[in-house]
Structure 1
Amino acid sequence: MIEKLGDVPDGVIGVRASGTLTAQDYASVVDPLVDELTREGRRGRFLVEVAPDFRGLTPAALVQDVRDGVRAIRSFDGCAVVTDVAWIRRATAAAAAVLPYPLRTFRGHQRAAAQAWLVALPAGGNVTARLVPDSGVVVVEAAGALRVEDVQALAAVVDPWLDEHPDLPGLVVRAPHFPGWATLGALLRHLGFVGTHHRRVGRLAVVVGGRLAPQAAGLAGRIVHPQVRWFDPDDLDAAVAWAGSAATDDPATPRSG
């Protein structure tokens, strides 16, 4: 059976699964939750407890589980699975590598930690992207590890410009430190974006803190198409001006291709 949990923090949706799940369980508990999220365009943070006596799903319930998962996949800000069932922990770890939202497992006695992790997750994406119309420079500011929706947000700003212009003069990436990726799916989506876009970007300004940032920018300049230059985190205006200026051959800003 599936039951909705009431003793969870505000903003967290909790359910508990035990025994064998049936299609009726999904119809009475899961479907209404998914319907509400998709109808209202809201995002949810899910706490899923799996009891020690959990035995799996009936075939009809499995079909419904897949359908609900496809419908709600873009409505998740994160999911914490609390269980001591070994095969559920292994399956969850495998799914976490490919899903577009953060997914973690916690032991049965770690429910409080699971709830705290969900509450601490950032709302929506970690990236904001804006276009400077006069120069055709896109400024990207990352506040945390990149998620799939962050790459989608960047594409939503860059692609309309590229639909009307042969290239993007400049891209500025600003972050307090190298943000990394929240999931393997986010990494793969980001690599796909870079692969299809980098030859249409003139200059890339890296405004990132950390001792390794200048070296990383130099390495990127030898791998990708744009001219690449690192700027101190306080030099955003200078980075935007450089990214939007006329492209020139500059030995200090190596360019491949």
Structure 2
Amino acid sequence: MLKIENITSNIVKVTVPETLKADDFQQMAPQADALIQKHGKIKLLVNASQFNGWENITAFARHMRFAKSHHQKIERAALIAGHTWQHWVAGIVRIFVHPEIKVYDKNQQKEAMQWLDGK
């Protein structure tokens, strides 16, 4: 299951499990929407270092729908990647989504937070 937590007033950390399931986004949406309502546009720190893929095509489709309906509410996103293919996917996604996205390796979480904070 996706884990979502507030790090600062407008930085939200999402920890992605090894495998995303279709219902992960239904469970996370109310919490994400509440944080967006409270803070306006948010910044995301996505720890996908353990992520290996989606359980099935339904999980992938729900992930894409969630991203489509929320990307305009994200100011910037830092992705902590655990696999080379995640760098490639992020490069493609940058073309289609609103927030600025930077990818960091799993040992660069401090740098990712500094970038999100604008420091």
**TM-score band w.r.t. shorter chain:** 0.7 to 0.9
Matched, 1:214 2:113: no
In structure 2, what is the equivalent of residue 193 of structure 1? 66
Could you tell me the TM-score, scaled by structure 2's length?
A: 0.83
In structure 2, what is the equivalent of residue 173 of structure 1? 46
Higher relative CO (CA 8 A, sep ≥ 6), structure 1 or 2? 2
Unpaired stretches in structure 1, ≥5 consecutive residues: 1-124, 247-257
Shift of 1:218: 2.1
Could you tell me the TM-score, scaled by structure 1's length?
A: 0.42
**Superposed structure 1 runs of 4+ greater than 6 Å apart:** none
How many residues in Structure 1 have an aligned counterpart in Structure 2?
119
Amino acid at match of 2:24: D
Unpaired stretches in structure 2, ≥5 consecutive residues: none
Question: Against the structure 1 CA distance between its residues 185 and 235, is the aligned structure 2 distance closer, same or farther, given a 3 Å change threshold?
Answer: same
Matched, 1:161 2:35: yes
Distance 1:202 1:179 in 2: 26
In structure 1, what is the equivalent of residue 4 of structure 2? 129
Shift of 1:177: 5.0
Matched, 1:244 2:112: no
Distance 1:182 1:244 in 2: 33
Distance 1:152 1:179 in 2: 20
Distance 1:148 1:137 in 2: 25
Shift of 1:226: 0.6
- 1:59-79 deviations in Å (ceiling 9; x for gaps): xxxxxxxxxxxxxxxxxxxxx
Instruction: Say which of 80, 83, 105 aligns to 1:232.
Output: 105
* Secondary structure of the corresponding residue to residue 173 of structure 1: strand
Find the structure with the greater CA-based Rg.
Answer: 1
Amino acid at match of 1:243: L
Tell me the percent identity. Answer: 26
Distance 1:157 1:245 in 2: 25
Question: Against the structure 1 CA distance between its residues 171 and 201, is the aligned structure 2 distance closer, same or farther, given a 3 Å change threshold?
Answer: same
